[in-house]
């Protein structure tokens, strides 16, 4: 179903990994509220997150419902602004009987939505939200994040690097974005590799919006670093790679979490962007997880999408959130806020992201969720770890070919 007036509504029921039970008739749809940056600087990736929500809702809707009831998703444009996100969520909640809220795209917007949901005592699910500190400091009661966290990304990084032949990239450089999540991610990487056969030979901070990476590049090059690890925003990551090419710095591997996720990465860089990887990809099409085949089928059935198109990670991340929502609602057997809250706290969920439950802070329990690791290959985001037989999986291209040889 589609609703006009600035909100998108999709009906849904019964999702992969969610076993439907006896149908309850005459109760009407279960309403979910969300905002998303449909316009503004975050809109390109935000639209992909919304696509994942809508595909998940469509799958649920086509397969019998949550106890026979449809999900009705109401989405308003937050324009990429935290204040606007809160205002739009208030409009949705004021005008609808909302059972649950879903987050927008990026930690800034997810935490804004979470703060509103906590105030309203509404169950809240937030994806694209790897930052752990808010969970640890804000005593969340209603917020749950079905998404990998910094500790998971750091663990996945080492597990991936350990598989690389003939010799893993032992000498590591960490470019630390001077932000809350940037500092946290750098610490987890440092702690994970400390005392192992790897060595962090260089770690230096840089600011959001940096336009000149020359000093970082020259210092990293002088330390003979084999791999560069960072979690820049996409524009900064694009700038950094362009300047690596200009300065003739060719590390064996670049692991740019977040920056290399959207399609704008390869659109901006072309062949230069190939082989850059990320150990912080929640989902990729090569995973052998519950619902991945169903998601890919729905993705390719969309108008204007070719049969060989490869979806980016956030589409699956959002689809996985819908799986969690459907399974929690079914387990709750109710739309009462405390019943849904209890289900989210107590159940384990089987999703495209894997099988996991939540800890007391609303994060996936430690060690239960492992991010996929991806690499841009011939213009598409491909799974490189864990290894699978999927057509969306390839062996890591390692060492990366020099920039001037691509």
- DSSP bridge partners of 34: 75, 102
How many angstroms separate the CA atoms of 160 and 374, rounded? 10
**Could you read off the pLDDT of 105-142 as tens digits, one per residue?**
998 999 999 999 999 999 999 999 999 999 999 999 99
pLDDT band at residue 241 using 50, 70 and 90 as cut-offs: very high
Q: Which fold has domain 151-281+372-405?
A: Rossmann fold (3.40.50)
pLDDT of 296 reads 98
Biggest CA–CA distance in the chain, Å, is 69
Q: Is the pLDDT reported for residue 11 higher than 60?
A: no
Q: How many CB atoms lie within 10 A of CB 378?
A: 12
Whether 15 shows a pLDDT value over 70: the answer reads no
Task: Among 2-16, 17-31, 214-228, name the one with the lowest average pLDDT.
Answer: 2-16
Q: What is the pTM for the complete model shown?
A: 0.93
Residues 49-62: tens digit of each pLDDT: 999 999 999 999 99
pLDDT at 224 over 50: yes
pLDDT at 7 over 60: no
pLDDT of residue 2: 32
Query: Helices 313-332 & 43-61, crossing angle to 10 degrees?
Result: 40
Binned at pLDDT 50, 70 and 90, residue 41 comes out as: confident
pLDDT digits (tens, 9 = 90+) for 95-108: 999 999 999 999 89
What's the rounded mean pLDDT across residues 79-83? 97
pLDDT of 13? 37
* Assigned CATH class of 8-148+287-357: alpha beta
50 touches 38 (CB < 8 A): yes
Cα 219 to its chain centre, rounded Å, is 31
Task: For the chain, give every domain's residue range.
Answer: 8-148+287-357, 151-281+372-405
Whether residue 225 is predicted with pLDDT greater than 70 in this model: the reply is: yes
pLDDT, tens digit, 9 for 90 and up, residues 160-203: 999 999 999 999 999 999 999 999 999 999 999 999 999 999 99
Q: Residue 107: which residues within 8 A CB-CB, separation 6 or more?
A: 128, 129, 130, 131, 134, 181
Instruction: For the beta carbon of residue 17, count every other beta carbon within 10 angstroms.
Output: 18
CB 135 within 8 A of CB 117: no
CA distance 66 to 250: 51
Look at residue 21 and tell me whether its pLDDT is greater than 60: no
Q: What percent of the chain has pLDDT over 90?
A: 92
Cis peptide bond prior to 399, omega within 30° of 0: yes
| CA–CA gap between residue 280 and residue 113 (Å, rounded) | 22
As a whole number, mean pLDDT of residues 251-271 equals 96
How does residue 386 score in pLDDT terms, banded at 50, 70 and 90?
very high
- Token representation of residue 95: 């005008």
Q: What rounded mean pLDDT belongs to the chain?
A: 93
pLDDT tens across 277-286, in order?
999 999 999 9
Whether residue 60 contacts residue 324, with contact meaning beta carbons closer than 8 Å, is answered with: no
| pLDDT over threshold 90, residue 380 | yes
Q: What percent of the chain is modeled with pLDDT above 70?
A: 94
| Domain 8-148+287-357 and domain 151-281+372-405 have a common topology | yes
| CB-based contact 130:184 (threshold 8 Å) | no
Spell out the residues 6+ positions from residue 355 whose beta carbon is closer than 8 angstroms to its own: 290, 348, 349, 368
Q: Which of 205, 265, 271 is nearest to 233 (CA)?
A: 265
Residue 269, pLDDT > 50, answer: yes
pLDDT digits (tens, 9 = 90+) for 307-349: 999 999 999 999 999 999 999 999 999 999 999 999 999 999 9
27 falls in which pLDDT band (50, 70, 90)?
A: confident
Give the pLDDT confidence score for residue 355 in this predicted structure. 97
* Arithmetic mean of pLDDT, 287-312: 97
Residue 186 in tokens: 């750098």
């Amino acid at each position: 179903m589609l609703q006009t007036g600035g909100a998108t509504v999709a009906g849904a029921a019964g999702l992969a990994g969610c076993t439907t039970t006896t149908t309850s008739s005459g109760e009407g749809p279960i309403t979910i509220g969300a905002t998303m940056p449909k316009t503004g600087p975050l809109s390109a990736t935000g639209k992909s997150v919304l696509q994942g929500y809508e595909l998940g809702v469509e799958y649920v809707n086509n397969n019998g419902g949550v106890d026979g009831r449809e999900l009705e998703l109401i989405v308003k444009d937050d324009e990429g602004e935290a204040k606007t996100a809160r205002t739009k969520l208030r409009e949705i909640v004021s005008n609808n009987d909302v059972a649950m809220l879903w987050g927008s795209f990026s930690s800034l917007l997810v935490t804004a939505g979470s703060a509103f949901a906590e105030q309203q005592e509404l169950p809240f699910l937030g994806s694209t939200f790897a930052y752990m500190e808010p969970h640890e400091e804000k005593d969340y009661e209603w917020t749950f994040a079905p998404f990998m966290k910094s500790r998971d990304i750091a663990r996945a990084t080492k597990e991936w690097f350990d598989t690389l032949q003939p010799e893993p990239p032992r000498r590591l450089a960490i470019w630390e974005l001077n932000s809350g999540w940037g500092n946290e991610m750098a610490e987890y990487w440092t702690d994970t590799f400390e005392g192992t056969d790897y060595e962090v030979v260089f770690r230096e901070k840089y600011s959001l919006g940096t336009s000149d990476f020359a000093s970082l590049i020259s210092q990293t090059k002088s330390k003979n670093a084999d791999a560069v690890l960072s979690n820049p925003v996409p524009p900064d990551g694009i700038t950094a790679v362009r300047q690596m090419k200009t300065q003739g710095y060719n590390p064996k591997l670049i692991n740019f979490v977040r920056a290399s996720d959207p399609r704008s990465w390869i659109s901006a860089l072309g062949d230069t962007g190939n082989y850059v990887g990320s150990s912080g990809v929640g989902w990729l099409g090569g995973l052998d997880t519950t619902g991945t085949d169903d998601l890919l089928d729905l993705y390719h059935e969309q108008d204007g999408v070719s049969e060989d198109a490869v979806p980016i990670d956030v589409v699956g991340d959002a689809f996985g959130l819908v799986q969690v929502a459907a399974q929690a609602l079914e387990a709750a057997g109710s739309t009462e806020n405390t019943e849904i809250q209890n289900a989210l706290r107590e159940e384990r969920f089987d999703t495209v992201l894997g099988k996991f439950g939540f800890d007391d802070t609303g994060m996936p329990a430690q060690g239960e969720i492992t991010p996929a690791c991806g690499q841009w290959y011939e213009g598409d985001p491909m799974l490189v770890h864990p290894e699978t037989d999927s057509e969306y999986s390839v062996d890591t291209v390692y060492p990366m070919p020099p920039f001037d040889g691509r």
